[in-house]
Structure 1
Amino acid sequence: MADAKKELRAAAIERRKSAFELHGPEASRRIAAHGLDFLGASAGAVVSGFAAIRDEINPAPLMTWLRAEGFRLALPVMQGRGKPLLMRSWAPGDAMSPAAWGIAEPLDDKPHVDPDVVLVPLLAFDARGYRIGYGGGYYDRTLQRLRKLKPVVAIGLAYDEQRVDAVPVESYDERLDWVLTPSGPLHCLDS
């Protein structure tokens, strides 16, 4: 299983890089234009995004729109290897600190929140809602922790080109409920 994931991860990195070169920032704007209306979530809900690195789709335009619509925002903070991410309140323009891999994180003075919606970066996804990330398991542990507390919706943000037929799955892998691509939201189904 580990070898299958490693092979898929390597191919997915190249596929995402090509999609980024093809679509550039326009992909982020198209995702923001879709918004999260398909969820029926109400203003005041907490949405956790992420600070994009490398050729990930940048959720910043979507987050800015959500803030204007009355949603509360958060970003993840790493707590260490093998631990779930901690989500801290965040708003566009807040000061950030650099962390591992050049990821920007909210400062320690921002309060911890448990989001209602988690936007998830990924390298590849399938129609069932399984994803391949960088291999650290941070989002799997985070979603598992949050889902023990309350209903949480996990939405992967991806280029359409990142979809694959099937992602190899292990017992600890957490499913996405939706994937939002530039061409629209995809509801993930058991199959």
Structure 2
Amino acid sequence: MRREARSIRKEAFVRAGEDAAAAITRHGIAFAGRPAPAIVSGFFPIGDEIDPGSLMRRLLGEGYRLCLPIMEGKGKPLIFRAWSPGDPMGEAAWGIREPLPEAPVLDPDIVLGPLLAFDAKGYRLGYGGGFYDRTLARLRALKPVVSIGLAFDEQRVDAVPYGDYDERLDWILTPSGPLKCRTQ
């Protein structure tokens, strides 16, 4: 399923990558019900993931605080460090750019995340490392958190396989607009 999902995402990115980023920026995240100065975690895109950079710049302009994920090792949840455009960055595994260790650690109120496929119930197919599942479980044990997957419309599937450890997304933001995930 991951191989097919990667192919679908790659085709969507080639067809509409820049337009998709502009569309999600226009939609914003007001639908999530968490106004500024909430803390929003974004991500630096890898390959054919939708680039949330312009959305994050919009959110900063609206008064949101921003942070980016940091991988601390296999099997561990992500942590988040404060970030603003122009901050110095380091490079981690897979070419992922991360804030430097001096940046303060934050626990986001809204988590934006990449994915390979999603379904209407909010299950996401990721890369198989479980980072976002562990992270959402950790954050949800601390406070209410809104999770939003960023995806091309073409990435929707009928059902994503899931286990007891999989954390569902609250919303999916696609170029067509936000989709509230069903709870049943």
Partner of 2:35 in structure 1? 42
Counterpart-to-counterpart distance in 2, 1:140 and 1:39: 19
Mapping 1:96-135, distance limit 5 Å = 96-135=89-128
Counterpart-to-counterpart distance in 1, 2:43 and 2:149: 11
Mapping 1:33-112, distance limit 5 Å = 33-112=26-105
How far does the alpha carbon of each residue in 1:76-135 deviate from its partner, in whole angstroms, 9 at most, with x for none? Answer: 000000000010000011111110000000000000000000001100000000000100
Counterpart-to-counterpart distance in 2, 1:24 and 1:144: 30
Quick check: 1:156 aligned with 2:149? yes
State the SS of the aligned residue for 2:48. Answer: coil
Q: Offset at 1:26?
A: 1.1
Counterpart-to-counterpart distance in 2, 1:190 and 1:91: 34
RMSD: 0.6
Runs of 4+ in 1 over 3 A off after TM superposition: none
Counterpart-to-counterpart distance in 1, 2:180 and 2:156: 13
**For residue 129 of structure 2, what is the amino acid of its counterpart?**
G
State the SS of the aligned residue for 2:67. Answer: strand
State the SS of the aligned residue for 1:25. Answer: helix
Unaligned runs of 5+ in 2: none
Give 2:131's match in structure 1, choosing from 108, 117, 138.
138
Partner of 1:185 in structure 2? 178
State the SS of the aligned residue for 1:122. Answer: coil
Partner of 2:4 in structure 1? 11
Q: Offset at 1:43?
A: 1.2
Counterpart-to-counterpart distance in 2, 1:55 and 1:67: 24
Q: Offset at 1:24?
A: 2.0
State the SS of the aligned residue for 2:106. Answer: coil
Counterpart-to-counterpart distance in 1, 2:17 and 2:72: 31
Counterpart-to-counterpart distance in 2, 1:131 and 1:24: 20
Q: Offset at 1:40?
A: 2.5
Q: Offset at 1:190?
A: 2.4
Deviates more, 1:67-76 or 1:40-49: 40-49
Aligned residues: 184
Counterpart-to-counterpart distance in 1, 2:57 and 2:128: 29
State the SS of the aligned residue for 2:90. Answer: strand
How far does the alpha carbon of each residue in 1:130-155 deviate from its partner, in whole angstroms, 9 at most, with x for none? Answer: 00010000000000000000000000
Normalised TM-score (structure 1): 0.95
Unaligned runs of 5+ in 1: 1-7
